[in-house]
């Protein structure tokens, strides 16, 4: 297969397991890629259910990686399936989470750095730690295979020590990791939603140089579109939200409740589409 550089086929991969994300997430991802990359390109979806996927998406079975899943962890450890052999998919690949929104050109994600580099986003939640963010990362297929050996030896110990799979990758990737330019990736909650109290009066905005908006945490594109902090809530007017907070109809402290207000985000409907 191509290495994804110098005008050859740009290779994207994603993973879908279980029922949290339906085929529409993969189809929207494919459409967004197609609108924002210079062809030719290929999207490979590693999945346990390839029904209803766009015919131009290359579905592949989930790579076999036998281990006892950690039971006390927040990380997306099933992503570890992608660290080793990917069958007929070889060379340089760009991984994308299913819930990202692509807002600009993706070409530079293939030209940045060296093809052998493992490149992640810089996690904005831990700026002093320099922890990677695996919503968008590039790797040479097989380069992270050694991580599977470490993880498989004691999955629960790895999860307890590192908590998130992205910290595990950051700390253990052979040859270390590099990071994308900060402006290329925007964290929706941290970079798009206006700071309190402006979030009550302004809609979330896309930072000018952002290429991809990620939705780490519980707030996903449907929530942004609806104007709610997570899927268990419904949109409220600013006054309704304030009244709910004062009356104790909230899931968190009053301060967090007040900060966690979101106006509906119309550009999600425009960009997150097939």
Tens-digit pLDDT profile for residues 169-187: 999 999 999 999 999 999 9
Bridge partners (DSSP) listed for residue 121:
133
pLDDT, position 118: 97
Tokens of 106: 């993706």
Tokens of 82: 């992608």
Mean pLDDT of the chain: 93
Question: pLDDT digit string (tens) for 206-245?
Answer: 999 999 999 988 899 999 999 999 999 999 999 999 999 9
Per-residue pLDDT for 2 more than 50?
A: no
pLDDT, position 244: 96
Handedness of CA 53, 98, 73, 81 (dihedral sign): positive
Identify the residue with better confidence: 74 or 89: 89
Question: pLDDT digit string (tens) for 148-162?
Answer: 999 999 999 998 999
Tokens of 138: 């590039």
pTM of the model: 0.94
Question: pLDDT digit string (tens) for 3-27?
Answer: 444 448 999 999 999 999 999 999 9
pLDDT, position 66: 83
Question: Which residues, 6+ apart, have CB-to-CB distance to 245 below 8 Å?
Answer: 254, 257, 258
Q: What is the largest CA-CA distance in the chain?
A: 60
CA distances from 258 to 123, 183, 193 (A): 24, 28, 13
Question: pLDDT digit string (tens) for 92-111?
Answer: 999 999 999 999 999 999 99
């Amino acid at each position: 297969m191509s290495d994804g550089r110098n005008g050859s086929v740009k290779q994207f991969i994603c993973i879908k397991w279980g029922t949290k994300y339906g085929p529409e997430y993969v189809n929207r991802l494919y459409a967004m890629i197609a609108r924002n990359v210079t062809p030719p390109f290929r999207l490979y979806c590693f999945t346990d259910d390839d029904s209803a996927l766009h015919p131009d998406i290359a579905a592949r079975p989930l790579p076999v990686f036998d281990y006892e899943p950690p039971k006390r962890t927040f990380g997306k450890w099933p992503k570890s399936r992608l660290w080793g052999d990917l069958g007929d998919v070889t060379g340089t690949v760009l991984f994308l989470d299913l819930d990202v929104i692509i807002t600009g050109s993706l070409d530079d994600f293939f030209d940045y750095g060296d093809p052998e580099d493992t490149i992640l986003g810089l996690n904005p939640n831990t700026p002093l730690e320099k922890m990677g963010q695996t919503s968008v990362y590039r790797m040479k297929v097989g380069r992270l295979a050694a991580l599977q050996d470490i993880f498989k030896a004691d999955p629960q110990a790895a999860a307890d020590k590192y908590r998130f799979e992205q910290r595990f990758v950051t700390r253990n990737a052979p040859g270390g990791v590099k990071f994308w330019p900060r402006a290329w990736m925007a964290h929706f909650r941290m970079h798009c939603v206006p700071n309190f109290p402006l979030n009550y009066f302004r809609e979330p905005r896309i930072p000018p140089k952002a290429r991809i908006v990620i939705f780490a945490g519980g707030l996903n594109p449907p929530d942004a579109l609806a104007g709610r902090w997570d899927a268990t809530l419904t949109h409220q007017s600013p006054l309704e939200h304030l009244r709910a907070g004062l009356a104790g109809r909230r899931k968190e402290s009053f301060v967090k409740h007040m900060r966690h207000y979101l106006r509906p985000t119309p550009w999600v409907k425009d960009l997150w589409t097939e």
